Every structure is written in structure tokens, then in C-alpha cells.
Structure 1
Amino acid sequence: MAPNVPESSPWIRRYNPAPDARARLLCLPHAGGSASFYLPLSRALGPDIDVLTVQYPGRQDRRHEPCVDSIAGLADALVGEVLPWADRPLAIFGHSMGAMVGFELALRLERRGTQPLVFFASGRRAPSRKREDGDPVHLRDDRRVIAELRALSGTDARVLDDEELLRMALPAIRSDYRAAETYRYVPGPRLAAPIHAHVGTEDSKVTPDEARAWADHTSGGFDLHAHPGGHFFPAEQMPRIATSLAGEISGLLLQKSV
């Protein structure tokens, strides 16, 4: 392990350490999600890629910590946690809300002189593409928040069917939706890192055109990848996603070595 890399952090989980990996991949969860969502991806990509997953406060082993209910707040808190892991090429993958956190984190890393290898924006429209929603999820009552979660099929059914678990999870879920729904993009410098957008062909939350607009946020190159499935296509198509990410990271590492 590099001397500056922490052995443990409340923010970073490293389920399958790969100390000899060519690159690292930092994964940021969706609203209401936790680090363990990316455990299958971590297993699939090792040992060639060292997968790090972010654990937001307010859930699982951090459930007693106050939630952070803004995208900027999450990105600000993560910069110092992530920088020590950039001792080798660092890719960033964010799904849904995690894509917004990942984008803001990548901007902050670049301002500090650390350019990510690539930013993967998954299941989220570009920051410049705002949808007007007159019925924000974070303002709904518990029953309707739960209905939204069931419709998206991204929350473990064991949580939705267990009243005690659900009661513990709802504050973090509502806080994440507040962060996602109150986020407003502030125009500024584009990322120097390339952006690769991934979208589900049946995702009602983002159209291919909205995903393609991520190209406006980078000067480093853009690519769009479509996958079968709905909003949570990464879980539905995990082997396909792992193969795609591994190929994209390998290709970019090869470009850097030429």
C-alpha cells in the first residue's frame, strides 16, 4: 500500500483490496444506496482494478451520523478522503445521485491538481439538463416515498418489507433525495477528464439525449453506452457493466502509456 493511503476511513470501503492493480475505481451510490451496492462489481473487477466504494453518512454502520443533504456538501467532504487514493490512475463511477456527487468531486479534484482517468456518469442526465418536478420525492409522506422506491426497484426488498429496517433507512433516503432534487448546476470550467455516460434503454429517469448532454461538460472526450434495463441497469446487467468498465479503463490506460 502506498504510504499516504489510509488503512481505514468511514467514507471509503475496499471490499476486495487489489494492491497490484493498474488503476483504482471509486464508486458512488444512488439516493438511499450504500457502499455494499457495489460489492458484486468489486468482485468482478479485481484484481486488475482496485475498487473503492463510498459510504455516505446516515446508513448501515454510519447510521448514527448526521446525513449530508447536499451534493456540494458530499463532494466537499469526499475530496480529502479520496486524494490519498490517487497514487495511481483513479476512475470515478457514480450512479444516479452518485453521478452528480462524482461530477462535483471530479471538478474539485481537478482544481487541486488531480485529474481523474475518466468519469463514468451512470443513470443520470447531464447537470445542465434540468427537469421541472412539481412533486419532489423528499417532500412526500413516507407512504409515497416508499412507493417511489418500489417503482424504481433499486432498494433491497428485504428493507422495504421490514418495517423496522425501513424506519431506520427512511431518514437517509429522504436526505439523499433532498440533495439530488435541490442540486443546481453552476456553469463553470469543463472537466479535463473524459466522461463516459452509461444509460439504461428503459430508464424513465434519463433519456439518451439527456445522457448525451454530458459531452458538454468535458474537454477530454465523450462516449455514450446504452445497456438493456431500467434505472438500476447496473444491478440488472452487472457482468456486462463490469466488462464494459474494464475495457474502457484498459483502453484509457493504454492511451496514457503511448
Structure 2
Amino acid sequence: MTPPATGTPWLRRFHDRPHARTTLVLFPHAGGTANFYRDWSADLPAEYALAAVQYPGRETRLREPLPERLEDLADGAAAALEGHLTGPYALFGHSMGSLVAYETALRLAAGPLGPPVRLFASARRPPGREGTASGVHLLDDDGLVAVIEKLGGTPPGLLDDPDLRSLVLPAVRADYRNIAAYRPGDPVPLDVPVTALAGADDPSVAPAEVDGWGAFTTRGHVLEVLPGDHFFPVRRRAEVLRIVARDLAGGA
């Protein structure tokens, strides 16, 4: 199915929701694409539209240069949203996407669109607390594939194919490089409520670390721990979407 047009390469919609009241904007993980969220929009309640961010250098934007800074992703996403979004919106980021969503929220809060109604930060420490992932981009291809497989991002052996590696690994490496170089400075709390989500068995970040997002909001936060590894939103999608719908409805 061809996604409905959005007028910008930065955003993809997989279902038309012309009467939706709120748009949920989704930010993929390192090496990820908008297609990661393809199945989400069909499962959301009708009052919510979905727009997935498509980063440069992958999928429908494969011929474009890969970003050189994580902040470049936030700059591009914020500009696209300001030009193509109306009405209330929320931001959901998974892993690296949580950092990009946070930076995007800072930009939008200072502009004409105003702040989101809520930020969802999944499977990521808050800005400035990146831990042991800072050298991943320096690994050789086999080492990088091992990291991806450990996190549960792809089935073991899938990236043994050289052609697939040549498509996937450049974006993964560039994103990890940008995460390592990201220097947010002093925390800037958002005047936005935050929902932090963590996988109970995530090998890269513990739930207590994900809970650190509480320092980045003046409006309160909630931590949700779900069964699974780093990619728990894939296997626990229904539970994640129930949490999203609950919190957007003001039930948290």
C-alpha cells in the first residue's frame, strides 16, 4: 500500500485519518525507518492520526546524504512538522528516536506550533547519559551486526547477506556516530508530560535508567516497564499502543 502523501519526504502516513483530533509523530531507532511503525496506525483509536518520521539516507530517501549530527534530524523533523501539521500532536521516539523527539520538542515548543501534548520516550536513557554505546560506530561490520542482533533488531543471520549489509549498516553506523557526538549540555526540561517505556530484559538500558526522563519535564512523568528486550514495542505493540492511547486521553 502506498502511504498517503504528506507533502514532505520527512513524514509518512500509512492510513488517512482526516477527522483525527491528535497526531502521534513517531521517530525510529538508530538505523531505523518510518516503516518500523507501519502496523501502528491501523491499531490506534480513530481519534489519533499517525505520522512516522523518515530520516535521510534510508528507504524512500536512500539517495540522500546521511545526517552528520543528531541535531540535523531534529532540525529537519521540526521544520517539516511546522509546515505540514495542524492541531494537537504528541511525539513518540524509540531508542535514538527518543533523543530526536526530545530535540524536536524543544524546537517546536519555541515556534508557532507550540509544544506537544506529551512525549513518549522508549528504550533510551535521557540526553547526556549515553553509557557504554559511545564506541559502537567504531566497530567493524561483524561487530556492528553483533550489536544489532544482541538488541533483537534483526533475526540472527539475516545480515550475513552482503547486499543487505550494504543497505543497512551505513545508516546504523552514522546514527551511532551521531549519538556518540551528541552533546546536549545542561538538561532543558520540557513543559510537557513524559511517558518513559522500558523493556524489562533490555541488554542496553535498565528501566531505572529510562526513568531518568523524569528530570526532563516540569509536568510529571510515568515509567512503564514491559516484558521484552530492546525491541519490546515490536512484540508488545498492543500493550504499547494501549499505554499511548491511555496517556493521550489523560489517564496516566
- Is TM > 0.5 for Structure 1 vs Structure 2? yes
Q: Is the 8 A contact 2:123 2:205 kept in 1?
A: yes
Q: Runs of 5+ in structure 1 lacking a partner?
A: 1-5
> Structure 1 residue 124: deviation in Å?
0.4
Look up the match of 1:125.
125
TM-superposition CA deviations, 1:174-229 (whole Å, max 9, x none): 11111122212211531011111001111122222211111111112211111110
- Say yes or no: does 1:196 pair with 2:195: yes
Cα distance in structure 2, aligned partners of 1:230 and 1:40: 19
Number of aligned pairs? Answer: 247
Where has structure 1 moved over 6 Å in runs of 4 or more? none
Cα distance in structure 2, aligned partners of 1:27 and 1:158: 28
What amino acid maps onto 1:164 in structure 2? D
Cα distance in structure 1, aligned partners of 2:138 and 2:214: 32
Look up the match of 1:180.
179
SS of alignment partner, residue 131 of structure 2? coil
SS of alignment partner, residue 129 of structure 1? coil
Matching of residues 77-226 of structure 1 within 5 Å: 77-113=76-112, 114-132=114-132, 136-155=135-154, 160-226=159-225
TM-superposition CA deviations, 1:56-114 (whole Å, max 9, x none): 11111211110003211111121110123442110000000000000111011112151
Q: Runs of 5+ in structure 2 lacking a partner?
A: none
Among all aligned residue pairs of Structure 1 and Structure 2, give the percentage whose two residues are the same amino acid.
Answer: 38
Q: Is the 8 A contact 2:152 2:229 kept in 1?
A: no
Look up the match of 2:13.
14
Cα distance in structure 1, aligned partners of 2:123 and 2:58: 22
Q: Is the 8 A contact 1:92 1:102 kept in 2?
A: yes
Cα distance in structure 2, aligned partners of 1:81 and 1:97: 19
> Structure 1 residue 10: deviation in Å?
0.7
> Structure 1 residue 159: deviation in Å?
5.2
> Structure 1 residue 158: deviation in Å?
8.3
With over 3 angstroms needed to count, the CA separation of the structure-2 counterparts of 1:158 and 1:49, relative to structure 1, is farther
> Structure 1 residue 152: deviation in Å?
1.2
Moved more, 194-203 or 85-94: 85-94
Look up the match of 2:249.
250
SS of alignment partner, residue 250 of structure 2? helix
Moved more, 96-105 or 122-131: 122-131
With over 3 angstroms needed to count, the CA separation of the structure-2 counterparts of 1:85 and 1:91, relative to structure 1, is farther
> Structure 1 residue 170: deviation in Å?
1.4
Cα distance in structure 2, aligned partners of 1:47 and 1:230: 29
Look up the match of 1:61.
60
Q: RMSD over aligned Cα, in angstroms?
A: 1.9
Cα distance in structure 2, aligned partners of 1:31 and 1:142: 15
> Structure 1 residue 48: deviation in Å?
2.2
Cα distance in structure 1, aligned partners of 2:166 and 2:11: 25
| Structure-2-length-normalised TM-score | 0.91
| Structure-1-length-normalised TM-score | 0.89
Q: Is the 8 A contact 1:27 1:53 kept in 2?
A: yes
TM-superposition CA deviations, 1:138-195 (whole Å, max 9, x none): 1111111111111112136685243212212211111111112221221153101111
SS of alignment partner, residue 136 of structure 1? helix
What amino acid maps onto 1:209 in structure 2? A
What amino acid maps onto 1:66 in structure 2? P
Q: Is the 8 A contact 1:16 1:46 kept in 2?
A: no
Q: Is the 8 A contact 1:33 1:155 kept in 2?
A: no
Moved more, 209-218 or 24-33: 209-218
What amino acid maps onto 1:22 in structure 2? R
Cα distance in structure 2, aligned partners of 1:136 and 1:170: 15
